[in-house]
Structure 1
Amino acid sequence: MPNLPDVVVWSIPAFVLLTVIEMISVRLHPDEEAAGYAAKDAATSISMGLGSLFFDALWKIPVVGIYSAVYALTPLRVPVLWWTVLPMLLAQDFFYYWSHRGHHVIRVLWACHVVHHSSRKFNLSTALRQPWTSLTSWPFYLPLVALGVHPAALAFCSSVNLVYQFWIHTERIDKLPRWYEFVFNTPSHHRVHHASQGGYLDRNFGGILIVWDRLFKSFVAETERPVYGLTKNIDTFNPIKVATHEYVAIAKDVKSAADWRERAGRMFGGPGWQPTPAADASAAAEGIAAA
Structure 2
Amino acid sequence: DDLAYYVFHRSAHRVRWFWASHVIHHSSQHYNLSTALRQTWTGFVSIGFIFRLPLFLIGFPPAMVFFVAGLNLIYQFWIHTEVIDRMPRWFEAVMNTPSHHRAHHATNPRYLDTNYAGVFIVWDKMFGTFEPERADDRPQYGIVKNL
TM-score, length basis structure 2? 0.95
Structure 2: gaps (5+ residues) = none
Rg (Cα) greater in structure = 1
User: 1:227 maps to which residue?
Assistant: 140
Matched ranges for 1:3-82 at <5 A: none
Give the one of 125, 138, 143 matched to 1:214: 125
Q: Tell me the CA shift for residue 137 of structure 1.
A: 1.4
Which residue is 1:166 aligned to? Answer: 77
* C-alpha distance in structure 2 between counterparts of 1:116 and 1:230, whole Å: 10
2:40 alignment partner, one of 131, 143, 146: 131
- The equivalent of 1:197 in structure 2 is 108
1:118 aligns with 2:27: yes
What is the Cα-based RMSD across aligned positions, in Å? 0.6
Q: Residue 101 of structure 1 aligns to which amino acid in structure 2? A: R
Q: Deviations over 1:45-90 (max 9, x none)?
A: xxxxxxxxxxxxxxxxxxxxxxxxxxxxxxxxxxxxxxxxxxxxxx
Structure with the higher helix share, 1 or 2: 1
CA distance in 1, matches of 2:85, 2:114: 19
Q: Which runs of 5+ in 1 are unaligned?
A: 1-91, 235-291
**Structure 1: distance between partners of 2:85 and 2:91:** 13
Q: Secondary structure at the match of 1:125?
A: helix
Query: What is the distance in 2 between the residues matched to 1:186 and 1:109?
Result: 24
Please give the secondary structure, in 1, of the residue aligned with 2:40. coil
The CA deviation at 1:93 is 0.3
Task: Report percent identity of matched pairs.
Answer: 55
Letter in 1 for 2:122: V
Q: Separation in 1 of the partners of 2:15 and 2:68?
A: 25
Q: Which amino acid aligns with 1:163?
A: I
Size of the aligned set, in residue pairs, is: 143
Deviating above 4 A after TM superposition, structure 1's stretches of 4 or more consecutive aligned residues are: none
Aligned partner of 2:3 among 94, 98, 106: 94
In structure 2, the partner of 1:151 is: 62
Q: SS at 2:71's partner residue?
A: helix
